[in-house]
Chain A
Amino acid sequence: MDLYFWVFAAIAVLAGLFTIAAKDALPSAMGLLTVFIALASLYLHLHAPLLAIFQVAIYAGAILILIVFVVMLLMAPGERLTAIQANVSYRGFGALLGLCLIGLVAVGTKGVSDIVSMKGVPEGFGNPSIFGDLFFRDFLLHFEVVSVLLLVALIGGIYLCKKKL
Chain B
Amino acid sequence: MATLTHYIVLSSILFGLGAIGFCTRRNALILFMSIELMLNAANLLLVAFSNFMADMAGQVMVLFIFAVAAAEVAVGLAILIVLFRHVQEVDITKFNVLKW
Q: A: which residues have CB within 8 A of B?
A: 2, 5-6, 9, 12-13, 16-17, 19-20, 22, 25, 28-29, 31-32, 35-36, 39, 42-43, 45-48, 50-51, 54-55, 58-59, 62-63, 66-67, 70-71, 73-74, 117, 120-122, 125-126, 130-131, 134-135, 138-139, 142, 146, 149-150, 152-154, 156-157, 160-161, 165
Determine how close the nearest CB of chain B comes to the CB of A73; give it in whole angstroms.
7
Q: How far is the CA of A13 from the CA of B33 in the complex (A)?
A: 14
Residues of A within 8 A of B29 (CB): 25, 28-29, 67, 70-71, 74
Q: Given A13-B17, A139-B60: A35 and B37 within 8 A (CB)?
A: yes
Q: How far is the CA of A22 from the CA of B77 in the complex (A)?
A: 20
Residues of A within 8 A of B36 (CB): 32, 59, 63, 67
Determine how close the nearest CB of chain A comes to the CB of B61; give it in whole angstroms.
8
Residues of A within 8 A of B92 (CB): none
> Which residues of chain B in 1-26 are interfacial with respect to chain A, using CB atoms and an 8 Å cutoff?
1-2, 6-7, 10, 13-14, 17-18, 20-21, 24-25
Q: How far is the CA of A121 from the CA of B48 in the complex (A)?
A: 12
Q: Given A122-B54, A153-B75: A19 and B10 within 8 A (CB)?
A: no
> Which residues of chain B in 29-48 are interfacial with respect to chain A, using CB atoms and an 8 Å cutoff?
29-30, 32-34, 36-37, 40, 43-44, 47-48
Determine how close the nearest CB of chain A comes to the CB of B63; give it in whole angstroms.
7
Q: How far is the CA of A153 from the CA of B67 in the complex (A)?
A: 10
Pair A54/B71 contact, Cβ less than 8 Å: no
Determine how close the nearest CB of chain B comes to the CB of A76; give it in whole angstroms.
8
Pair A156/B78 contact, Cβ less than 8 Å: yes
15 additional A-B residue pairs with CB within 8 Å, beyond A12-B10, A13-B10, A42-B44: A16-B37, A19-B30, A19-B33, A19-B34, A42-B7, A42-B47, A54-B63, A66-B74, A70-B80, A70-B81, A150-B71, A152-B71, A157-B77, A160-B78, A161-B78
